[in-house]
Structures are given as C-alpha cells and as structure tokens.
Structure 1
Amino acid sequence: ATSGIGAETARVLAKRGARLVLPARDVKAAEETKSRIVEEFPGAEIIVMALDLSSMASVRSFVSEFERLGLPVNIL
C-alpha cells in the first residue's frame, strides 16, 4: 500500500474514517504514504507494520504484533 492502487485505496479508506493497518516490506515508504494521507486527513488512524510475504518469520511476527493490537480484520 505504498504506491499505485494500494496507496489510493488506503487514502480513500482513511477519507471514509477507517482505521488502517498498512503492512509493508518497505516500512520507510509506508511511513511516507501514511504521512501524505494524514496530511490530507488529519484525523486518520494509520498503523504501519513490517511484513515481507516471502518470509514466514516475517509473517509470523506480523501476525503476533497484529493480534496484540486487538483490532478486528475487516478487509485483507
């Protein structure tokens, strides 16, 4: 969700008031995407989390961290 259709989807969801978790391999790029969205929609709730789908260790770590947030999963 750092460029293209993913970033635009995140922007539209933030505009509509959704709380977002942005999983990304490139956390720096995701933080930049988050900054752009929050600049446009100051009340946006966006959490950036590291996730590399090519690594099962990364997937397990992401799932553990996500579960600690206690948030529902509405859209994958």
Structure 2
Amino acid sequence: MTDTQFQKGPSTWRIVLAAILDFLTAFFVLGYLVASIFGGKTEEGFNLQGGPAFLMFALVVAYFVVFNKFLGGTIWKRILRAQR
C-alpha cells in the first residue's frame, strides 16, 4: 500500500494543545468583553457572577460549535494544523 492510501491525521499533541489554547483564548477574550459590557472588570482582570458568567460560558461553547461546524475549525486548530 502506498502513502496516499493512508491519510494520517494530526498529532494528538497538536489537537490537545489547540483545544487548551482555544479554551484559554475564548475564556479570557470573551470574559473580558462580557465584563466590559456588564461592569465586571477589576484591576486584576474580570470577575463575573450570575447572568454575565452564564452568558460568558454560553459564548465559549458557541465559539467551539460555530468555529468547528461552520468555519472549518477553531483559531488554534488552524494555526497548529490540528484539523481532522
């Protein structure tokens, strides 16, 4: 069998690293944006409670769903070439 018959996927470490970096990026960027809108910014960063915290977590989930399903992969998956 030739190499063209086996399509090797990305390395596991790339997939795991992309997932971690995507979560951290989405958490901090979206958290800061929600905190800016709803007044949760602090000197150390942001502090979200109640509705704004729920909104931020919903946006993080939406980030993964929208990017993976409709845009061909998340930001870090594209950067690290960790798409399956």
TM-score by length of 2: 0.28
Specify the structure having the higher radius of gyration (Cα): 2
Structure number with the higher strand fraction is 1
TM-score between both structures, scaled by the size of structure 1: 0.30
